[in-house]
Amino acid sequence: MTFLSLLVFSPLLGIVLLMFVRKTDAKMIQWLGTAATVPPLILALFAFIQSGRGFRLEQLDEARDWVRLTDLPFLTDTAYVIRYELGIDGLSLVFIVLTAVLATLAAVASMLVKTEKKGFFLWLLALEIGMLGVFAAANFVWFFLFLEVTLVAMFFLVGKWGGFERERAAYGYLLYNGLGSALLLVVIAVLIARTGTANFALLHEMLHNPVAQGQWIAPLTEEGRRWLLGGLLLAFAVKLPAVPLHRWLIRVHVEAPPPVVMLHAGVLLKIAAYGMIRFGVGLFPDEFRAFAGAIAVFGVINVLYGALLALRQRELKHVLAYSSVSHMGVVLIGLGALNEAGIQGAVFQSVAHGLISALSFLLVGVLAHRMGTTDINRLGGLAKAMPLFSGYLLTAALALLGLPGMAGFVGEFTSFLGLFQTKPALAAAGALGLIFAAVYSLKAILDITFGRACDRQEAVVGWRDPQVSAASLGELQGGVVDLQAKEAVPAFILVALIVAVGVYPQLLAAPLDAVVETMMNGLGG
């Protein structure tokens, strides 16, 4: 079977074809770039539907020899063999579908990008390959390789197509995430050196099964395991990000072009959640228990800190950036609970926040394009001129504050449900974040859409987004255009998904059930 390879590398075809398109042919680039994100989407949805019908995902596993590090006679055949291995389970599948959906929508939203479109799409597709690969990888080496692909692609996407401070944001991103990756690499290297394998399933077997302990190249002490888990968690805490490692996120949210933020907030942050669940809970369950309390505390800090700071911001992108910090805290809360509800909650919250932030930044992109600014102080009363847009923005705000019936509620509810079973007092403190969430999201969105209509000329004077190029500034002179069909379609799809997950969460719970149960068994019930 080469299904997974096809799924992961199919955007490559788009990259190759894009090479032959003339740089100036913006229409063709947009069309081709968007089309290139469709094959993974189709394949991912196909796998999702098939698995819902009882297809066993293990059948998709694939492996090929890749690198043989040594050939020492006293080692077994499998030791120090790094193979090209892909494989998915319910957990990865959920994230893969999320990635594929958001990548297509981000590609559609990229029509607002006007400069150097060809390069933009090349990097965007590379980013998609990286993200899909991260979730499809079945061993540490390939996980890391794909992770680094996303890092590089993001660096260029932010650094070249971002706002005025794009370079600073890009270097901040690279520095923080590079350090995180370095730490991750150390952990991976130690694990491989000790066990001789990088394969998740094999590692899992060797870490848990006492019989398999004999195959260790060199044993690992209890303390050593704890250090490894600590390093792993710290590496992912940078990428999540956990307070106080969040500064890079704020800059990236503000400076990166909105379609890129859709993917960044929507998927890249979730890699950290995925990593913590897959490697933290999956490989080191006993040690994770020792960290659970601290993780929950950090989660609550994240929730409150992000929400309180979001209260003060007067720039819509800042509000959304801090709200991302706050929402990722909920993921930590779910993980810190360390029970079925909590872990499912963490995944739900990841998916929910992915969809919601994609919707928000889709709309932010439109807003920046139409009004030339996302400064809340300069905006107001948009519901008059742009009723459809305002409706969607309000929907996004409601989703953001965790309104029941939308995905955000399911994530928050399940995570808190988990933590209330283990640490009720802490959970109650975290629940205060729900109030602040309502305050900051309504304050920001109502100030933009409700109230007295703003003076458009005044608003435009403050434009600061280089992507709003001279051409669109010319458009600004005319009347304000409401959400157009090509922008409304992705927004509608996102809202539909948010509501679908919110109303019937079983949609996501079903594929996760088996995975979470296995992890719970690892935790010893």
Binding of residue 201 to another protein (CB under 8 A): no
CA distance 31 to 14: 10
Q: Which of 293, 381, 462, 466 binds another protein (CB under 8 A)?
A: 381
Q: Nearest distance from residue 364's CB to another protein, in Å?
A: 20
Cβ-contact 204, 197 below 8 angstroms:
no
281 versus 509: smaller Cβ distance to another protein? 509
Q: What is the dihedral of CA 69, 70, 74, 80, to 10 degrees?
A: 0
Q: Nearest distance from residue 160's CB to another protein, in Å?
A: 22
CA distance 46 to 274: 22
Q: Count CB neighbours of 165 within 10 A.
A: 13
120 versus 173: smaller Cβ distance to another protein? 173
Q: Nearest distance from residue 461's CB to another protein, in Å?
A: 23
Binding of residue 72 to another protein (CB under 8 A): no
CA distance 6 to 293: 41
Binding of residue 227 to another protein (CB under 8 A): yes
Binding of residue 311 to another protein (CB under 8 A): yes
Q: Which stretch binds another protein (CB under 8 A): 59-67, 83-91, 203-211, 432-440?
A: 432-440
Q: Which of 23, 64, 312, 486 binds another protein (CB under 8 A)?
A: 312
CA distance 341 to 339: 6
Q: Which of 185, 189, 297, 438 binds another protein (CB under 8 A)?
A: 438
Cβ-contact 190, 218 below 8 angstroms:
no
CA distance 304 to 243: 10
Binding of residue 217 to another protein (CB under 8 A): no
Q: Which residues pair with 139 in a beta bridge?
A: 199
Q: Nearest distance from residue 161's CB to another protein, in Å?
A: 24
How long a stretch of residues is the chain?
Answer: 525
Binding of residue 291 to another protein (CB under 8 A): no
Q: Which of residues 448-507 bind another protein (CB under 8 A)?
A: 449-453, 504-506
Q: Which of 421, 467, 472, 518 binds another protein (CB under 8 A)?
A: 421
Q: Which residues pair with 324 in a beta bridge?
A: none
332 versus 417: smaller Cβ distance to another protein? 417
359 versus 437: smaller Cβ distance to another protein? 437
* Residue 100, both tokens: 């594929």
Cβ-contact 18, 33 below 8 angstroms:
yes
CA distance 492 to 217: 54
Please state at what angle helix 140-161 crosses helix 117-136, rounded to 10 degrees: 160
Q: Which of 184, 309, 337, 363 binds another protein (CB under 8 A)?
A: 309
Q: Which of 49, 64, 213, 405 binds another protein (CB under 8 A)?
A: 405
CA distance 363 to 400: 13
* Residue 380, both tokens: 């107001």
Binding of residue 230 to another protein (CB under 8 A): no
Binding of residue 424 to another protein (CB under 8 A): yes
Would you give the distance in Å from CA 35 to the centre of its chain? 22
Q: Which of 404, 458, 461, 486 binds another protein (CB under 8 A)?
A: 404
What value does the CA radius of gyration of the chain take, rounded to a whole number of Å?
A: 23
Binding of residue 293 to another protein (CB under 8 A): no
* Residue 387, both tokens: 């009723």
Antiparallel, parallel or unpaired: β 62-68 and 81-86: antiparallel
Per-residue contact track with another protein, 91 to 120, x per CB under 8 A? ------------------------------
- 8-state DSSP, 67: E
Binding of residue 70 to another protein (CB under 8 A): no
Give backbone dihedrals phi and psi of 78, rounded to 5 degrees, phi first: -90, -15
Q: Which residues bind another protein (CB under 8 A)?
A: 172, 175-176, 190, 218, 220-221, 223-224, 227-228, 243-244, 246-248, 305, 308-309, 311-312, 339-341, 344, 381, 383-384, 398, 401, 403-405, 409-410, 413-414, 416-417, 420-421, 424, 427-428, 431-432, 434-436, 438-439, 442-443, 446, 449-453, 504-506, 509-510, 513, 516-517, 520
